Every structure is written in C-alpha cells, then in structure tokens.
Amino acid sequence: MGEVKVPSDKYWGAQTERSRQNFRIGVGIETMPHEIIIAFAYLKKACAEANHKLQPQKMTDEKLKVIADVCDEIIAGKLDDNFPLVVWQTGSGTQSNMNVNEVIANRGNEIASKKLLHPNDDVNMSQSSNDTFPSAMYIAATMAVREKLIPAVGSLAATFRRLESEYDGLIKTGRTHLQDAAPVKFSQEVSGWRSGLESDSEMLMHALTFTQRLAIGGTAVGTGLNAPDGFDAEVCESLSQLTGIPFTPAANKFHALTSLGEIVFAHGAVKALAADMMKTANDVRWLASGPRCGLGELFIPENEPGSSIMPGKVNPTQCEQVTMTAVQVMSNDNAVSMAASQGNFQLNVYLPVCAYNFLQSVRLLSESIESFRVNCAEGIKPNAEKMTENLNRSLMLVTALNPYIGYENAARVAKLAHEKNISLKESCLELGLMDSERFEEVFHPERMV
C-alpha cells in the first residue's frame, strides 16, 4: 500500500494512521470509548500470559514482561493520547485492535531499547480482531456495569431507604390514572422507587453472567486457527485474576463471533433501569410541582434560577436531566438491537457502534443517577401540611365505607360531596346512610394504608 507518515511523538503505527486518515468522521468527539481501550489492555496482558504458559518459546519471559508493563501503563491512563481512532471505522474494530497492538509494540520496544515486539506476531499472537474486539466489548460492558452503574443504583436506593425510615408515619393520598385514589404512606410510595432500583440491579447482575462469556480463542472465523489448545481458558483465567471478574470462554465460538444476543440482553436490563428512573423522576417533579398551583407535596433542592424572564422561578432540573438521559438510553437500545441483528455468516461487522451505544448508556445513566441523588434525592423533604390537606380533601377516602354501606351507596356519597363541595361525612349524613357517631367509628384513613 506504500509508505505512510506517522507522527514521531506517538506510539501508533501505519495501520492506525491509515484509519485516522481514511475515517475523518466524528474526530475528537466520537472516538473509540476509553472503556474499550482499557478492556483491550487487560485482554492483551491476559493473552500474553496465556501464550507464555502455552508456547513459551514464542512468548518469552522478556516479551511477556514488556507487554504487561505497557498494558499497565494503558490501564493507568499514561498513554491515553495514543488512541485517536473514531467509532465509525471498520465494523469489526480491526483498526482499533491494531491501534492497541501498535502502541504496545512500539512503546514496548522503547522500554526494551530494541526491536523486541511485533504488533501482529507478538502482541496479537493467537488472536484475531474478530475475537478480540467482541471480547473487549464484553469486558468493557461488564466492568462498566459493575464498577459504575450498580454502585450508583445502590447509593440512590440507600437514600430512598433513609427517606422511608424518616417519614414512615406520614399518610398521603394515592393517585392512579392521574386521579385521586386510596391513601398510602409516603414511605410506601418511596419504597416503590427503591424496590424498582433493587430489582433493576438484580437484573443487571444476572445479565452480566452472559457478558462474562468471551469470544477469545475463536480467532478469525470461530475455528481457533493459529491459537494453541486451551488458549481461551487460560486467557479467561488470567483475566479473572486481573479484574476480579469471573470471565469464561464462550462455549460456541461460531456464535460468539457473529451473534451479540448477550449484549442486547444486558442493554435491556440497562433500559429497564432507565425506564424506572424515568418513572421516579417524573413522580418527584409532579409531587414537587407548584409552588402554589401544583401538587406541592414535596420540597426539592433549589439549585439554580429556572427562568431568564420570570424572577424567582425554580425548576426541577435534576428530574429533567434524568428523563432526558432515559430517552437517550432507550434510543441507544434500538441501535444496540439493530447492530446485533446484523451478523452475517461468521462475523458481525457492527461491533464499534454496538459498543459505543452500550457504553454511552451505562456512562450516562451512572452519572445521571449519581447527580440526581446528590443534587435532588438527598434533599427531598415532604410537605406534610400539604399532604394532609390533600388527603383530607380526597373523595377516594370513601372507599373505607364500602364494607358498611356498599359500593353503590359509597359512589353516591362521593358524587354528592364533589357536586356540592362538601365533606364525605356531610354527604353521608345528608343521604341518610350513616349517623355522625357511626361515621366517626368506621372512617379512619390512617387504617387504609
């Protein structure tokens, strides 16, 4: 293909440079996710360790040490400016695999003060881009969910648990179909938000049991060509030791190279969390609506002015960022699903866009949840006076009378109270369905929760 000029102050080589020149799409904005590069560093180190164990005559002690040292530098962020490639490149991610290979080889040779490593023969030994990129994608996805998303979910769940404990005795009106409904405790309402998060976390952990199964060892088309027997198991054992995550070889490499059902399933769990966060954020901003003409049942932190023209206006901005993030995650789910459906024969060539969208979802949702917790949820306080006022005005408290006067009569009580704007007790007395003493005996909203 002829000569190509490579920047002398960088560690990448000709293949990286050709990709950099040929794919000027989203440069500086939509680069290969940092999580993928870190995952590649773990993977390359594990592959070198496996090769050293299985074919030490090729992967010598010296080569292993240098490769491992450079991988550690990448993981530590010391070589971040050597991975310039964009997402919109070859669909197999070959050029990013080679970017990593070239950086490890060239930096390694600098450390060794000689030409010790070749990017293909040594760093890519027993591998193909076709099994390393999907493996790196699954490693990155697993680590991101475990290290970022699940802790963020756990912290917000703990905040909600505190709110439940602090306000357990507070009763308020429930709402279904955006209409008044039977009463609930405020703590019960919050428990629904918390339980959703805990369920989502459980689903995420279950999904990771699938993304921990790696394609490595399949090489080019799933047959394992040029990889020694047992290579996949050795790599996964090394990876497990390096990351603390129990990675295992995919049972069928022909499936692992071309099908991405595991990442679709995992993103489905991410989307479920986004859906629950959308619901919770909307609940909070509705309950905090006002301050005088809305529901007004919650006080939330006033973080910044809400209008450039209306003085004193404050908006539920943290709730808004959560709902926008949820929309993005739900949109990303479509991209992940479509990318996964495009495997042809022995390879899927939509890997970079799949990885990009999955990792963006996890990154955005993790940071969105933490921002919501710190800047909103931690400062939530119920407006007990307003909750009690709304509770006492709710016509659906009439449900407590069903066992004593029947559904039809209770409906008459509610309808008359609404038409005349009188209390349920006054309505019940006017209709002659109960006397005052009997009403007071059976009508106890606090017992309805």
- Report, as residue numbers or ranges, the catalytic residues: 177, 307
Q: Distance between CA 449 and CA 444 in Å, rounded?
A: 10
- Residue 291: cis peptide before it, omega within 30 degrees of 0: yes
User: Over the Cα atoms of the chain, what is R_g?
Assistant: 30
Element (DSSP H or E) covering residue 65 = helix 61-75
Instruction: Report phi then psi at 48, rounded to 5.
Output: -65, -40
Q: Distance between CA 127 and CA 231 in Å, rounded?
A: 10
* CA distance readout (Å), 432 to 98, 247, 269, 281, 404: 86, 72, 55, 44, 13
Phi/psi-derived region of residue 364, left when phi > 0, alpha when psi is between -120 and 50, beta in every other case: alpha
Looking up tokens 């090489």 gives: 219
Q: Distance between CA 273 and CA 372 in Å, rounded?
A: 14
Helices and strands counted in the chain (H then E): 17, 8
Phi/psi-derived region of residue 185, left when phi > 0, alpha when psi is between -120 and 50, beta in every other case: beta
* CA distance readout (Å), 30 to 85, 89, 125: 9, 11, 29
67: exposed, middle or buried (C-beta count within 10 Å: 0-12, 13-18, 19+)?
buried
> Across-strand partners of 176?
179
> Across-strand partners of 57?
none
